[in-house]
Amino acid sequence: MKKRFLFSVTVLGLGMIIGAALTGVFVGKQIDDLYIENRSLADNLAVTEKELEQLRQASEEMHTRVVTKISALVSFTEECDYSDYERSTIELTVEKKVREWLQIISGQELETINYLLVPRIVDNREVEVEGNKIRLKVMLVVLSENVIVYLEVEPIKNMV
């Protein structure tokens, strides 16, 4: 009986040792597979990042910035005592005139535009809107795909 018990304990211990060894082998194989897959994914990520950077550089080289919109933002000096209707009419007319005057740069690449010439086209222009003579003063010009001209309107007094 003692031999039988000792044999059973020995078989059980041997089974545990063999099971632990086989479990270690299987877990080790899974760890090796995961390590290899991780290295492969890291290499793929590095290659993809390089390709993405090359595509970005190529896109920047190919992308040209072109003037697509021209707008004017109008403000009035303190001497202007126009009604709201007159102010809105002046704003609309001035914006239309500015678009007409600057139509020449619409569609051009930003790099080819003479930056010094743009404000001079509009600055000190005199416009008549519904009997009111005004002078336009350029305060700021922002040149991008959307050209924005900041203007100040001052009335011209009739000297008779």
Q: What is the pLDDT of residue 158?
A: 65
Residues 104 and 135 in one domain: yes
C-alpha angle 27-28-31 in degrees, rounded to nearest 5: 85
Residue 134, helix vs strand vs coil: strand
The stretch 115-144 carries a mean pLDDT of 90
Q: Is residue 22 part of a domain?
A: yes
Token couple for 150? 């900041």
Question: Taking 50 as the threshold, does the pLDDT of residue 159 lie above it?
Answer: no
Kindly state the percentage of the chain with pLDDT values over 90: 39
CA dist., res. 113 & res. 86, Å (int): 34
In a domain, 160, yes or no: no
Give tens-digit pLDDT for 35-74: 888 888 888 898 889 888 888 887 776 777 888 888 999 9
Total number of domains in the chain = 2
Cα dihedral 135, 139, 143, 144 sign = negative
118-132 pLDDT tens trace: 899 999 999 988 888
- Angstrom distance (rounded) from CA 130 to CA 121: 23
- For residues 152 and 139, give the distance between their C-alpha atoms in angstroms, rounded to a whole number: 7
- String of DSSP letters for 14-74: HHHHHHHHHHHHHHHHHHHHHHHHHHHHHHHHHHHHHHHHHHHHHHHHH---B--EEEEEE
**146 and 79, same domain (yes or no):** yes
DSSP tally for the chain: helices H, then strands E: 3, 4
Give the domain extent around 17. Answer: 1-63
Domain final position from 28, 63, 98: 63
With 0-12 / 13-18 / 19 or more C-beta atoms within 10 angstroms meaning exposed / middle / buried, residue 72 is buried
Residues 115 and 139 in one domain: yes
Instruction: Give the pLDDT confidence of 19-34 residue by residue, as tens digits.
Output: 999 999 999 999 988 9
